[in-house]
Amino acid sequence: MNHSDQEPAAPESLTPGSPLASPLSPHTTPDWIRLQKALSVEADRGFNDVEGKQHRFSEFISLTLSQAPVALPAIDQQRWQELGSKFTTYAELTFSQRQHLVADTRRFLHQVRQTWEEQGKGERGEGRGVGESASTVPAKTPKTTPLVDASRPVALDQAVTYLAGIGPKNAEKLAKLGLITVRDVLFYYPRDHLDYARQVKIRDLTEGETVTLVGTVKRCTCFSSPRNTKLTILELIVRDHTGQIKLGRFFAGSRYSSRGWQEQQKRQYPPGATIAASGLVKKSKFGMTLDNPEIEVLQQSGDAIDSLTVGRVVPIYPLTEGVGADLVRRAVIAALPAVKQLQEALPETLREQYGLVEIQEAIAHIHFPPDSTTLDAARRRLVFDEFFYLQLGLLKRRQTQRQIQASAVIAPTGQLIEQFYDILPFQMTNAQQRVINDILNDLQKPSPMNRLVQGDVGSGKTVVAVVALLAAIQSGYQTAMMAPTEVLAEQHYRKLVGWFNLLHLPVELLTGSTKVAKRRIIHAQLETGELPLLVGTHALIQDTVNFQRLGLVAIDEQHRFGVQQRARLQQKGEHPHVLTMTATPIPRTLALTLHGDLDVSQIDELPPGRKAIQTTMLTGKERMQAYDLIRREIAQGRQVYVVLPLVEESEKLDLKSAIDEHRELQENVFPEFTVGLLHGRMTSAEKDDAITRFRDNETQILVSTTVVEVGVDVPNATVMLIEHADRFGLSQLHQLRGRVGRGGSQSFCLLMSSSKTEAARQRLKVLEQSQDGFFISEMDMRFRGPGAVLGTRQSGLPDFALASLVEDQDVLELARQAAETVMAKDETLSRWTLMQQELDYRYRRLMGGAILT
């Protein structure tokens, strides 16, 4: 089975369920592949100290490096063991320290391995013929050749040390960026480009443009700043036939303040010399100038500009402390000849169909394109590759899932489902019925269902899930529903108990607050099979929870769980059907990226009778209008939410806190009403009490943090007042707004914001104008980016080097289409060996083990 067909591969020793290899004997050959793979996986997964079944990553590395192979030189043995000891304190290191330690270790192992392999088997006494002794093996003469042979191109898998002009010290610096091999350098894409290729005359300079001009030096001065002796200023007066301009460059550091260096600069740009200067045009008190320009001396005005930075499109690379832009550019230039060794993995017909340049051309031109058109073509090809291999991997995962035999084949009809329809006091919407049909069709198939149901707040996802649960129960299976918080789990339990009591079916709730005696009863009922449905939080995945015959798992707000948590619940049965739900509408591009291996259904219709929630933006001056509305609604027997972003006041942020606001509202603003308080730092019992009192209308106003975002269902609440609304994302504001408008009365959402920025006002206007969760999440992604929409890094969003889910949506759609075409022609990829190899490599690195399902 290929790695792309399953969770991205960790080293065997780090894969859950695999035994950890014994530490290396000092007399054995190191397992280079396992060591490098372990380090690579740790880097790909965010330096989180990946956990295997028996050992964490740091334990595995420290054990493996505890004894150095005796064949290594003494200095390398010492370094080997030093690195091993550093991993014993890995848990205490900062993110940056972990990053550097892993990079240093990868670089060291790469160099040691090359030395080891160059020595050859004969020198270590391995592989000798019968009767050969050590003395009969000719000794190798020591190498006297230079480290870099300019006549031989470097190989893709060689260390960056072997690049011309780099060497060991610079290689150490590049390792901080994760650049260990020549391939790493080639695929280290610029984060931006400056286009200096446009050459203009001095009189045509326009502020804000990036240009190149060619002129003659009229005067050059170089001196230390009178205000700061460590700052040196180089000033040039340059003219062409259209005018003249004053250019300045600044050099910080005492080494530039020496008289000799300054005189050297003046000699470099003598009066009459022809220069080319590139930079951003800005206004100064002397007129137009170039901001800290790049300058090159030409022989004469008609000469070609032969420079890495002047008169061309210049790459700007992501950097880190101690690694300069010039060093990265130098490494890229030295590595570029190796581009010819890259093999084209995409078939020619596919490249022609989607208008893609070849990989060699794309890599060369993403670094140093001759013009912006070539850059666009290179970037499009590389973005396509990122999306294509992700989609191909997701489709192969789905294919593999469909080959698994489901342990439960469930009948789509039966008495329980009919009885449930009879007791419902409302008719299902067309959208709900469509999604139910999708689910029931899945449950009859021989492979396990893996379906995501997306639906706005209040669209009726729970009712849809109940039909699926009842289908499994009437076929003789047990079921489980997992929610991310106790509040939401209890909400589901309360709703399900009402229905299941009428159907004479038992249902239990298991959370962290469940008493020990009750837990024992629930565990026993699960093992005998007499409990058909268990609702709960993370408590469901504890080792003591054992189902007799688990057939279906429903997971609500699934993006709030980690990958391993969802997997552990599925492991409670033998390939049970999985139904995941989310009330956080996800834009199509995000859904394709995260859930490309899932079947997705949308409930895109609200139940009849629901009124649109009237949403209004207010400033601090309009606060009394909000309070007047609250009084009117409470006078009619309604209730109100007041939501704040903080529990307690922050010294750094000038924001109201929930605790302070509760006190202010109760004592000064609404003393005639009862004001409740709810926040995440309260105990479960305190939260339950606050929610129950609000649900029973004992408190008319509930002041809360975002803990009410999911799970609190009070149809009588008609006003949602959100303080500091500009501090929330649009998707989160839409979720909060969904807490009201759940009854038949007109509801209101008031967005209080003191922000004066136009961007903040534009974001909030989206909520004023739309009730469509999918449109709102799309806009949220454009404003804040995909990671912010999902809320957490553990959501499984892959790290793209170039691709943007906001700007490259059209390329993603094409890549998905191409991947589907390829899979339809040959789902094994056996006819495209290079494509399969590239998929294995890219998919593993791109997803970093964080794939959702």
Residue 561, amino acid = F
pLDDT at 86: 86
Indicate whether 46 and 113 sit together in one domain: yes
The answer to whether residue 400 is domain-embedded is no
pLDDT per residue as tens digits for the range 723-753: 999 888 888 888 889 888 887 789 999 999 8
Q: Has residue 348 been placed in a domain?
A: no
pLDDT exceeds 60 at position 762? yes
Confidence of residue 787 (pLDDT cuts 50, 70, 90): low
pLDDT mean over 326-352:
91
CA angle 774, 780, 785 (to 5 degrees): 120
Mean pLDDT of 528-551: 88
Q: Are residues 627 and 756 in the same domain?
A: yes
| Domain final position from 258, 284, 311 | 311
Shared domain for 641 and 571, answered yes or no, is no
For 703-719, what is the mean pLDDT? 81
- Residue 5 or residue 830, greater confidence: 830
The closest alpha carbon to 375, from 392, 348, 357, 398, belongs to 357
- Here the CATH number for the domain that contains residue 698 is 3.40.50.300
| Amino acid letter for position 519 | R
Indicate whether 571 pLDDT > 90.
no
What does the pLDDT look like over 366-404, one tens digit per residue?
Answer: 998 887 789 999 999 999 999 999 889 888 887 877 777
For residue 410, what pLDDT is reported? 84
Question: Could you report the per-residue pLDDT of 572-587, keeping only the tens digit for each?
Answer: 777 888 898 887 777 7
CB contact at 8 A, 212 and 310: yes
Per-residue confidence band for 9, with pLDDT thresholds at 50, 70 and 90: very low
Residue labelled with tokens 């080792």: 543
Judge if 113 and 253 occupy the same domain.
no
pLDDT score, position 797? 61
Final residue before a domain boundary, out of 123, 155, 189: 123
Q: Is residue 360 part of a domain?
A: no
- What is the rounded CA–CA span in Å between residue 537 and residue 17? 24
Which range has the worst mean pLDDT, 210-214, 486-490, 595-599? Answer: 595-599
Is the same domain home to 435 and 555? yes
pLDDT score recorded for residue 441: 92
CATH of the domain at 260: 2.40.50.140
What 8-state DSSP symbol labels residue 199? B
Question: Which is nearest to 300 in space by CA: 333, 325, 275, 278?
Answer: 275
Size (the chain), residues: 853
Tell me: do 74 and 216 sit in the same domain. no
For residues 651 and 683, the model is more confident at 683
147-162: buried (b, 16+ CB within 10 Å) or exposed (e) per residue? ebeeeeebebebbbbb
pLDDT at 187 over 90: yes
pLDDT digits (tens, 9 = 90+) for 430-476: 999 999 999 999 998 888 888 889 887 778 888 999 999 999 999 99
Strand partners, 622: none
Q: What is the pLDDT of residue 130?
A: 34
Within a 13 Å sphere around the CA of 297, how many CA atoms are in the beta-carbon half? 12
Does any domain span residue 107? Answer: yes
Q: What is the pLDDT of residues 19-57, one digit of tens each?
A: 344 444 455 667 777 787 788 777 766 677 877 656 788
Mean per-residue pLDDT, 57-85 = 80
Between CA 316 and CA 368 the distance in angstroms is 10
Q: Which of 165-169, 286-290, 504-508 has the highest mean pLDDT?
A: 504-508
> Which range has the worst mean pLDDT, 245-249, 511-515, 719-723?
511-515
Written as six digits, the tokens of 615 are 């949403």
Do residues 420 and 549 both lie within one domain? Answer: yes
Which residue range(s) make up the domain with 645? 614-770
Looking only at the bridges linking them, the beta strands covering 614-618 and 550-556 are unpaired
Q: What's the rounded mean pLDDT across residues 73-94?
A: 81
Share of the chain above pLDDT 70, in %: 81
Lowest mean pLDDT among 168-172, 499-503, 632-636: 168-172
Task: Please determine, for residue 297, whether its predicted confidence score (pLDDT) is greater than 80.
Answer: no
**Mean pLDDT of the region 205-233:** 88
Shared domain for 81 and 38, answered yes or no, is yes
Residues 543 and 636 in one domain: no
pLDDT top residue among 59 and 355? 355
**408: pLDDT strictly greater than 50:** yes
- Rounded CA-CA distance 747/661 in Å is 22
Domain-embedded: residue 138: no
Same domain, residue pair 667 and 729? yes
Q: Rounded distance, CA 724 to CA 559, Å?
A: 25
DSSP states of 99-156: HHHHHHHHHHHHHHHHHHHHHHHHHTT-SPPTT--GGGSPPPPPP-S-S--TTSPPPT
| Nearest alpha carbon to residue 247 among 228, 220, 265 | 220
Higher-confidence position of 724 and 307: 724
| Token reading at 572 | 């409670």
In a domain, residue 779? The reply is: no
Distances in Å between the Cα of 595 and the Cα atoms of 208, 390, 450, 580, 852 are: 42, 11, 10, 11, 7
Do the domain assignments include residue 601? no
> How many structural domains are present in the chain?
4
Asked if 260 and 214 sit in the same domain, the reply is yes
Q: Report which of 845, 300, 246, 384 is spatially closest to residue 376, judged by C-alpha positions.
A: 384
620-645 pLDDT tens trace: 889 999 999 999 999 999 999 999 88
Pair 688, 763 in one domain:
yes
- Tell me whether residue 811 is in a domain: no
Domain boundary among 711, 743, 770: 770
